[in-house]
Amino acid sequence: MIRVLRLLRVAAGSDRDLLDRYARNRDDGAFEALVRRHGAGVWAACVRLAGRDAEDAFQAVFLTLSRKAGTVTGSLPAWLHAVTRRVAANLRRTARRRSEVEAAARGPDAVSEDVGPREGLALLDEELSRLPEPYRAVLIVCCLEGRSRDEAAEQLGWSGGQVKGRLERAREMLRVRLARRGVELGGPLLAAAVTGPAPVRAGPPSAAAVTLTDGVIRAMTIQKFKLAAAVLTTCVGVAIAGGVALRAQPVAPLPTPPAPNGATKRPPENRAGALGPQDKENPAPGEQADESARKVKELRKERMAALKELTDITLGLYKNARASYDEALDARLLLLQAELDVAEKESDRVALYKETVTTLKQYEEYADTRVKAGRGTVAAVLKLKAKRLEIEIALEQAKAKGVKEGK
C-alpha cells in the first residue's frame, strides 16, 4: 500500500512538473510516470507509422526523451508525436531496400493487403502533425490516448474550459483537413488509430533502438543549427536595413526658442570635441549607423562560425551514411552564401567559388562511391553535379566581372 501511494504521488502533477523533476534531479519515478502516462499513445503511433519495427521505434522515442528532457518546450504529447514521426521516417528510409526485396520475392501473384485503412491512418498522422501545437496536443491526449477532459486539463496544465474549446476546434480543423484528402474523420478511423497497451521490456534497449535514437538526436541538432543560421540571417538583414535608414535620414536643425523681451539671444559657442549630456544620451545618426555596421559585422562572423560547424557535422554524417546528401549540400551552400555576403572584392568571390567547386567535387565522389556500394542513388550524384556546374557558371561570371572592373 505504501508503494502504491508513493507511485500515485509521483505520478501526480502536469507533464511539465514531471519533466522538470526528471531533467533537474534525474528522478526515475518521474520518468516512469511519463512513460506510463504517454506509453499507450506513443505505442499506437509507432504501430501506425513503423509497422513491425514498432517496438524499436517505441524504445527510441523514450530514449530520446530521456536524453533531451531538459530541452522539451511546449506540449509533451505534441513533442513525442513529432519524435515518433522522425523515428518512423528514419526506419522507412533504412528499411526501403529490405521491403523491395521482400516484395520481389512474393512475386506478382502475391495477394496484397487492403491499403485503404492504412493510408487513412498515415494521412491522420500527417495532418495531425500540421496542426498548431495546442490543438495537436489535445487531440492526442483526448482522442488517441483516451483521457477524459479533466485528466487532460491536469496533464496539460490547462483549465477545463480551455480543453473543451480547443478540443472542439481541433476536431473541426482535422476533419476539414482530412476531408480535403478524401478521408472521413470518424469513430472507425480513430478506433483504428488506437492499439493495445505498450509492450513491457526488461533489460537494456535494443541496438536498433539506440541507433535510431542517435540518428534522431543528430537530426535535431542539425535542425537547431539551421534555425540559428536563419535567425542570424534575419538579424543581419534587419541591422543592415536599420543602418541604411539611419544614414538616409536628414539631420534637421533644432529650432531656437525666442528670447524674452524681443532681445536677440546669441547661440552658445560650440567648442570642438565638446559633448553635452544630451549628446551622449542621443548619439548622432552617423554614430548609430556605425554601431549598426559593427553589430552586422559581429553577427556575420557568428553566423559563419555556426555554418562552418554545421557543414563539418553534416559532411561527417554523410560520409558515414547517417545524413542525406541534401543536408550536406544545403549546409555547404548556406556557408557559401554567408561567405559571399562578407566578400568585399570580386577576387575574394572568385576564390570562394573555386573552393566551393572543389568541395562539391568531393561530395560527388562520396555520392558515386555510395552508388557503387549499393547504398546511394544516381539522382544524388546528378543533383550534386548540377549544383557544382551552377557554381562553376557563377565562378566564370565572377572572373569576367573582375576583368571588366580591372580595366
What is the tens place of the pLDDT at every residue in 184-197? 877 666 766 666 66
Question: What's the rounded Cα separation, in Å, for the pair 206 and 55?
Answer: 9
For residue 276, pLDDT over 60 is answered with no
Same domain as 308, residue 230: yes
Same domain as 197, residue 226: no
Same domain as 225, residue 190: no
CA-based end-to-end distance of the chain: 91
Cβ burial of 198 (10 Å; 0-12, 13-18, 19+) is buried
Give the number of other Cβ atoms within 10 Å of residue 63's Cβ: 20
Please indicate, yes or no, if residue 266 is contained in any of the structural domains. Answer: no
152 closest CA partner among 140, 127, 346? 140
Mind listing the pLDDT tens digit for each residue in 317-353?
Answer: 777 666 677 778 888 888 888 888 888 888 888 899 9
What values do phi and psi take at 120, rounded to 5?
Answer: -60, -40
Please indicate, yes or no, if residue 262 is contained in any of the structural domains. Answer: no
Give the number of other Cβ atoms within 10 Å of residue 18's Cβ: 24
Question: What's the rounded Cα separation, in Å, for the pair 20 and 163?
Answer: 23
Same domain as 399, residue 338: yes
Please indicate, yes or no, if residue 275 is contained in any of the structural domains. Answer: no
Same domain as 186, residue 68: yes
**How many domains would you assign to the chain?**
2
216: Cα within 13 Å, side-chain hemisphere: 30
Give residue 143's domain range.
Answer: 2-95+117-201
Same domain as 186, residue 64: yes
Same domain as 294, residue 189: no
Confidence tier at 111 by pLDDT (50, 70, 90): very low
Q: Residue 374: what residue type?
A: G
State if pTM tops 0.75: no
For residues 44 and 54, is the Cβ–Cβ distance under 8 A? no
Mind listing the pLDDT tens digit for each residue in 374-396?
Answer: 767 788 888 889 989 999 999 89
Same domain as 238, residue 160: no
